[in-house]
Amino acid sequence: MSIIAFFSKESNIELQNLWENRLQAYSPSIRLVPLLSNEAHDATIALLWKPPLEKVKKLSNLKCLISLGQGVDHILKDNIIDYDMPVIRIVDPFMAKSMSHWVILSVLNYIRDTFGYDYQQKNKIYKARKEIDFTSLKIAVYGVGAIGSVVAKDLTQLGFEVEGWSRTEKNISGINCYSGENRFKVLLKSSDIHVCLLPLTPATKNIFNNLSFKMMKHGSCFINAGRGEQVVEEHLIVNCKSGHISSAILDVYREEPLPKNSKLWEQQNVRIWPHVAAETNPETAAKQIANAIKCIENGKMPPNTIDRKVGY
Ligand code: NDP
Ligand code: OXD
């Protein structure tokens, strides 16, 4: 029997049962128990999304932590769990595709000026708006890993010129890829649409701030599905207000759920999505989680174990 401590958002028992059911299809001996229950003290593995980390820290039998998402910042946060234990993440091609659909939707909304047409419909205005010339548009994708590389390739399939930015040098067919701070600045200056798909680490925290927004061309579009803490939201709001950033399409925020009093809600040219750009799907992700559990139990390092030194 493998006892796994489970926590996802509100620690919902129906969701726990759904995951248990999917995992048991691959390994019948897996049993999920709520992280907040006494039974969790017997768990050797924890399966987590945004857990109360102080609770996780108290479970002394844990050998490994598995993220219920592709990002692991919610587990590494504030170095609360500082002891040495593997942290595994999901890498699901279906999530990458789902993100790709969301980014394409956002890019096309910008190009076809959906915000403007929404306004016109509300006010019964039947009038063509100025079209953006898409033939010369350049799209920068910041973070071309498991998700960003798929997004970048799919955007090129639509005929867009796409450039990628990553920490280490990358070679992706059809896409000019760059790394390093100087190249980051070049992309900020030369692109029309900026798509952030970076993981949150000390190096990417606040990376989109007044300085970086000011380097972007006037009228740029900013799309963020990485993490909220990569953006200084007050700086984004100022740049959206002035029209320097003509549209911002956001899926992630410094505080989630986005507080009711956030000024982002009030900005006409900001679209708010509630962290749904690419959701974890138990149907497609259960197999790799069951495999990770098996690896840990057999003393092996599972695939998609993160590098604690770089933080993703
Ligand atoms: P990966 O680890 O596969 O890719 C991350 C990419 O970011 C890599 O290209 C990496 O470079 C690059 N990167 C990391 N640090 C830096 C840095 N300091 N400077 C430049 N580039 C950097 O992650 P995924 O693609 O799986 O996921 C990315 C993020 O997307 C997640 O961490 C999460 O925050 C977010 N996400 C959001 C979802 C949503 O619904 N909104 C859903 C799923 C994920 P290199 O290639 O050199 O390692
Ligand atoms: C993830 C997310 O990291 O959904 O998987 O944000």
pLDDT digits (tens, 9 = 90+) for 137-159: 999 999 999 999 999 999 999 99
Residue 100 contacts residue 149 (beta carbons within 8 Å): no
Cα–ligand 1 centroid distance for 103 (angstroms): 15
Cα–ligand 2 centroid distance for 132 (angstroms): 31
Number of structural domains the chain divides into: 2
Residue 59 lies in a domain: yes
| Chain centre to alpha carbon of residue 293 | 24
Among 204, 205, 272, 212, residue whose Cα is nearest residue 236: 212
99 in the same domain as 83: no
pLDDT digits (tens, 9 = 90+) for 173-199: 999 999 999 999 999 999 999 999 999
What residues does ligand 2 touch, defined as CB less than 6 Å away? 69-71, 278, 280
Q: What phi and psi values does residue 89 have, to the nearest 5 degrees?
A: -125, 165
Domain boundaries, position 52? 2-92+280-297
Residue 79 contacts residue 58 (beta carbons within 8 Å): no
Q: For ligand 1, atom 4, which residue shows the shortest CA distance?
A: 145
Residue 158 tokens, joined:
């639509």
CATH code at position 201: 3.40.50.720
252 in the same domain as 291: no
128 in the same domain as 31: no
261 in the same domain as 160: yes
239 in the same domain as 174: yes
Ligand nearest to the CA of 199: 1
pLDDT digits (tens, 9 = 90+) for 248-266: 999 999 999 999 999 999 9
120 in the same domain as 13: no
Residue 308 lies in a domain: no
Q: How far apart are CA 301 and CA 89, in angstroms?
A: 12
161 in the same domain as 217: yes
pLDDT surpassing 80 at residue 10 = no
78 in the same domain as 185: no
pLDDT surpassing 80 at residue 40 = yes
pLDDT surpassing 90 at residue 233 = yes
Residue 32 tokens, joined:
């999920």
Residue 66 tokens, joined:
């598995």
Q: How far apart are CA 127 and CA 33, in angstroms?
A: 57
Instruction: Indicate the burial class of 166 (C-beta count within 10 angstroms; 0-12, 13-18, 19 or more).
Output: buried
Mean model confidence pLDDT for the chain: 97
pLDDT digits (tens, 9 = 90+) for 65-86: 999 999 999 999 999 997 789 9
Residue 53 contacts residue 76 (beta carbons within 8 Å): no
At residue 11, the pLDDT reads 64
Confidence of residue 9 (pLDDT cuts 50, 70, 90): confident
